Amino acid sequence: MFDRALRLALIATLLAACQVGSAAERPTKADPSEDAPVAVAAATALPTALPTAPPRTTARPTVTPSPTPTPIPTPTPPPPTAFAFNLYQEGDFVPQYTFEWCVGASIQMSYNMVAADTRASRDDQETLWEHARSRSSNLFNGANPRGWATVLNEIGIGPYELVSVPDYNDALRTAAAAMRDTGRPVGLVMWRGRHAWVMSGFESIGDPATHPDFRVTGVRVLDPLFPYGSGTWGPSPAPNSLLSPEELAKQFVIREPRRWSSNLGAGYMLVLPRAGDSTAGSSSG
């Protein structure tokens, strides 16, 4: 009997131990759907793989070739037309007071066309001629073109230099271009080196400053021997006369080499102004 009672007590104890809790302790289910084994399913489901981004590729910039720049055309100068340049004003002409002083008178006229004052007296002309002669090397004991150029520089209207141009038309172009560039007159060595004139202006087809291929059509001149002229070379043109190249060529000829010693070759001789600062009037003659 005792053994049977002991077994019944043991079974009751084991049954009580197997219960999770009493009915009062069990949670109230708010939603019947909670009966579904959601938690268990979520816990046991395999993790979903995250979407894999496509491999990143480095974008290559699109190179658009730059358009070839259109070259800017060089402005074409207008076609050459008639052009005139003249330095002469009333009162610039001075006659030579003796048949020897043509260089002295030419220096005075050149000065008058550049400076603000005027040189025209006989005494001044003689002084200028003496200065030019003392700076010359001349078998005839006169003033030669080299002394002429030297005195122009000394009285402050230079720079001038003596040049010899073998070709006649080149000589005219050289003289006109220098005059246009400097605004100063040109000395012309006339009669194969025996006489001096001054070129006071010119006319041309094309401006020498813009048309390198300009052509001289006329030359304005001052002959200090006017109105006398020469029985050999012809009459003296009036002051500031416009001579054609053909008319000028009758008296403007190639220098005679034996007239005076020089290292310049035979040619048409010019007392030529060069670009540079002129200080006219700052020196005395």
Taking only the tens place, the pLDDT of each residue in 229-279 is 999 999 999 999 999 999 999 999 998 666 555 678 889 999 999 997 665
At 280, the pLDDT band (50, 70, 90 cuts) reads low
Predicted pLDDT of residue 219: 98
Report long-range pairs for 244-250 (Cβ below 8 Å, ≥24 apart). Answer: 244/217, 244/218, 245/168, 245/169, 245/172, 245/216, 245/217, 245/218, 245/219, 248/172, 248/219, 248/221, 249/168
Whether the per-residue pLDDT at 57 is higher than 90: the answer is no
Predicted pLDDT of residue 28: 44
Mention every residue, 6+ apart, whose C-beta is less than 8 A from residue 268: 164, 165, 166, 167, 168, 171, 189, 252, 253, 254, 255
Taking only the tens place, the pLDDT of each residue in 132-171 is 999 987 656 688 899 999 999 999 999 999 999 999 999 9
At 180, the pLDDT band (50, 70, 90 cuts) reads very high
Please compute the mean of the pLDDT values over residues 69-97 and round it to a whole number.
Answer: 89
The residue with greater pLDDT, 181 or 1, is 181
Lowest mean pLDDT among 45-49, 95-99, 109-113, 242-246: 45-49
Half-sphere exposure of 99 (CA within 13 A, CB side): 4
At 198, the pLDDT band (50, 70, 90 cuts) reads very high
Average pLDDT over all residues of the chain: 81
Taking only the tens place, the pLDDT of each residue in 26-56 is 444 444 444 444 443 444 444 445 444 455 5
Predicted pLDDT of residue 25: 43
Reading the block at residue 279, the tokens are 């200080």
Predicted pLDDT of residue 16: 47
At 206, the pLDDT band (50, 70, 90 cuts) reads very high
Please compute the mean of the pLDDT values over residues 75-92 and round it to a whole number.
Answer: 90
Whether the per-residue pLDDT at 73 is higher than 90: the answer is no
